Structure 1
Amino acid sequence: MSFEDVIRLNSRVTLQQMLQREDFKTRIDNEQSIRAHEIQYPIMQGWDSVMVKADVELGGTDQLFNILIGRDFQKEERLPQQVVFLLPILEGLDGSRKMSKSLGNFVGINEPASEMFGKLMSISDALMAPYYDLLLGRTPPVEVHPLEAKKQLAFEIVQTYHSTAVAQKTLDEWNIRFSKRDLEHADLPAFPVISGEDLPAVTLVSKIYREVFNLEKSHSEVSRLIKQGSVEIDGAKIRDPKATLTVKSGQTLRLDRKHAVRVH
C-alpha cells in the first residue's frame, strides 16, 4: 500500500467510530493516553480481511471490534461478510492479565515438559476452573484435592504437547521433587552462580524465578514467600528478605512448593 492508499483507507472510518473500541473507552475514562498508531491497527486488520477475502475470522474476545471493522470494509467492497468466531481470553499465570509471552506469564507449547508442568502447577486454585474449561473443555473434578486436580491439568497439557510417557515421567519426577520433599536425588534445573557472590535473599530468589522458570515476581511477592518460610537452602529456612546469601555449588534451593533448583 502506498501512503496515499493508507490516507484513503483512513478516510473511510471516523475517529468517533475508532474510540468506541472498549479498551480505548476505558483508557479515556481513566485519562490514559492513546497513541495515533494504535488507531491504525484495527483499520489495517480490517482491511486485511478484504485482501484475503476472509470467510471466517477467529480471534479472542478482545478482537471483536477489529474483526467487525473488517466486516464493514467487506460490505463496502461488495464482498461476503466474514463469520466472526470468538474465543474467551486465557488468563496468564499471574491471574490478572491475559497470557502473553511479552508479559512473561505464559506456558509455551514448545517448552520442555518439566518447565511446562511446573508452570501449570504454579497457578492459583482460582485459575483452575477457567484453565480446565478453556484447555481441557470440562470442569475440574470436585471429588479430589485441588492439588491433585492441578496435577491432572498439568499432566494432560504435557501429554498433549509431548506424549503420555513423557507426561507420566514428568509427574513422577514432580512427586519425588515436591510431594515427597526429597530434593537430594531429584533431577532439578540448574542455577549457575558466580563463586563467592553475595546477594540479598529477595534479589537472589527473584533472579532464579526469572532466569530459570521465566516467571516475573515482584519483590513484595518474593518477600512474602521468604517471611512465610517457603524459601530453603539445603532444608534450612530463610526468613529474612534482607539477609545476604552466599550459595555454593551443589546446594539445593527451594523457592516454594513447586519450584526448586540445584546450584552449579
Structure 2
Amino acid sequence: MLQRGRPLRLKMGFDPSRPDIHLGHVVGLRKLRQLQDLGHQVILIVGDWTAQIGDPSGRSATRSMLSHAEVLDNAESYMRQFFKVVDRDRTQVEWQSQWFGDFTLANVIELTSRFTVAQFLERDDFARRFADHQPIAITELLYPLLQAYDSVAIEADVEFGGTDQMFNLLVGRELQEMMGQTPQQCFLMPILVGTDGVQKMSKSLGNYIALEESPQEMYGKVMSLPDSLILQYYEYLTDVPNADLAAMGQAMESDSANPMDFKKGLARSITATFHDTAAASGAETQFEQVVQRRDVPDDIPECRLADVAELSINQLLVRTELVASASEARRLVGQGAVEIIHSSGDRATVAAGAPLPALAAGDVIRAGRRRFVRLVQ
C-alpha cells in the first residue's frame, strides 16, 4: 500500500452508545495521531446507526437498542472528545447515516445475501451464546455487516480496532473484496485493562477513566490502579521510550524503586495531557493531602445541616450528591468507605445498618477516597 505514493485512508469507528470516551479508546486514537503526523488520512466513523443495535463483543446477552435521539446526544459529546487526541483540521469525520440513510430493504437483503449464518456463528461471543441456548437477535447479526459496509463506503485502506473487534474487521475485508475493492488491512490494538485490574476498561463495568473527568478524579483513578498495570498504561498512553520502560520494570521487579513514584509520574502525565500541567500538579497536591495524609481538602462543597438532619446515610449521600444513586450509597457503606470527620478531628466510619452518628455544623462527610461535603448551619 505504501508503494502507491498516496496517503493511506485509516478508518476507526466509534459507536456513541454512551456519552464519554475513556482511556481505552485513546489507545487507538494515539496510534491514529502518530500516523496522521506522518501524512496519512484519518477517517473517524460515527456509528449513529450501529450504536442503535449495539456491538455484543464480549457480552453474553442481547444489548438493548438506543433511540436515534440518544445516539445523537452521545455523539455530540464524542465529537468534542475526539480532538483531544487527533488533529481536528486533518481528520475526516463521517456519519453512517450519510450512506445508510438511503438504504432500502432491497439493499439490506442484498448485503445479507453475501454471508451465511454459519460464518457469523464462528464469532466467539455468538458461538458461546448459541451453545448456551441464549438469544441472539437478528439485529446483532447485522452489526458486523453494517460496520463492514462502512469500509466499502469510504474505501478504507486500513481499519483500526481492539483485538475483540477482529471478526468485524475481517468481515470488512471480505466485503470490500466481494465489491471489487482492495481489501483493507486490519490494525488490531491491545485492550486496556480497567481500574479493577481484571477486565477491559468499560463504562458499563464502571472501571473506566473518562477523558472529561476532573483533574482530581482522573489523577486519583490512575493512582488507584494495581501496580501490575503501571507499565501497560505507560506503554499504551504515553511517549516514554521503551528503554526507560524496561528500566522502570527492572527497578520495580528488584524492589530498588517504589512503584508509587512511577504511578505518580503516570498520573501526572495522563492528567496533564487531557487538562494541563498546572491542573495535574494541583491534582497531585490534593491526592497527597487527601489520600496519603488523610486530610480534608480546603475547597469542598457545603450543605446545610438542616437539609439532611432527618435523613438516613444513604439518603444523605444522594442528597449531597456524593453518590449518583442509592445503590452506589449502599455499596460504599457496605465497603466501609463512608466516614464522618467531626470538627474536633475525631473520625467515625459509618457501618451498614448502624444508626448515623450525631451530626453538627463543621462536620465533613467523606464518601470513597476523594469525595467530601462539609455541613454548615
Bin the TM-score by the shorter chain.
0.7 to 0.9
Q: 3-state DSSP class of the match of 2:207?
A: coil
Distance 1:122 1:32 in 2: 36
Correspondence 1:111-190 to 2 at 5 A: 111-136=213-238, 138=245, 142=252, 143-183=256-296, 185-188=297-300
CA 1:112–1:5: 2 relative to 1, 3 Å:
same
- Whether the aligned pair in 1 keeps the contact of 2:317 and 2:323 (CA below 8 Å) is no
- Paired positions, count: 254
2:343 matches 1:241 = no
- Whether the aligned pair in 1 keeps the contact of 2:340 and 2:347 (CA below 8 Å) is yes
Unaligned runs of 5+ in 1: none
CA 1:248–1:156: 2 relative to 1, 3 Å:
farther
Instruction: State the structure with bigger RCO (CA 8 A, min sep 6), 1 or 2.
Output: 2
- Deviation (angstroms), 1:114: 1.2
Distance 1:191 1:146 in 2: 38
- Whether the aligned pair in 2 keeps the contact of 1:189 and 1:260 (CA below 8 Å) is no
2:222 matches 1:109 = no
Amino acid of the residue matched to residue 187 of structure 1? D
Pick the aligned partner of 1:86 from 178, 188, 192: 188
Q: Which residue is equivalent to 1:13? A: 115
- Whether the aligned pair in 2 keeps the contact of 1:201 and 1:240 (CA below 8 Å) is no
Using the TM superposition, name which of 135-144 and 113-122 deviates more. Answer: 135-144
Pick the aligned partner of 1:251 from 344, 363, 376: 363
Q: Percent identity?
A: 36
CA 1:36–1:95: 2 relative to 1, 3 Å:
farther
Q: Which residue is equivalent to 1:61? A: 163
- Deviation (angstroms), 1:218: 8.8
- Whether the aligned pair in 2 keeps the contact of 1:173 and 1:186 (CA below 8 Å) is no
Amino acid of the residue matched to residue 261 of structure 1? F
- Deviation (angstroms), 1:127: 3.6
2:141 matches 1:39 = yes
Task: Show CA shifts across 1:176-220 (max 9, x none).
Answer: 22222221x533466788422422469949x96643xx9x85956
Using the TM superposition, name which of 172-181 and 103-112 deviates more. Answer: 103-112
Q: 3-state DSSP class of the match of 2:206?
A: coil
Distance 1:164 1:84 in 2: 36
2:151 matches 1:49 = yes
- Deviation (angstroms), 1:20: 0.8
Distance 2:265 2:303 in 1: 28
- Whether the aligned pair in 1 keeps the contact of 2:338 and 2:350 (CA below 8 Å) is yes
Q: 3-state DSSP class of the match of 2:200?
A: coil
Q: Which residue is equivalent to 1:260? A: 371
Using the TM superposition, name which of 96-105 and 152-161 deviates more. Answer: 96-105
* TM-score (norm. length: structure 2): 0.59
CA 1:126–1:253: 2 relative to 1, 3 Å:
farther
- Deviation (angstroms), 1:221: 6.6
Distance 1:101 1:192 in 2: 33
Task: Show CA shifts across 1:40-75 (max 9, x none).
Answer: 100110111111100111111111101100100111
Amino acid of the residue matched to residue 152 of structure 1? G
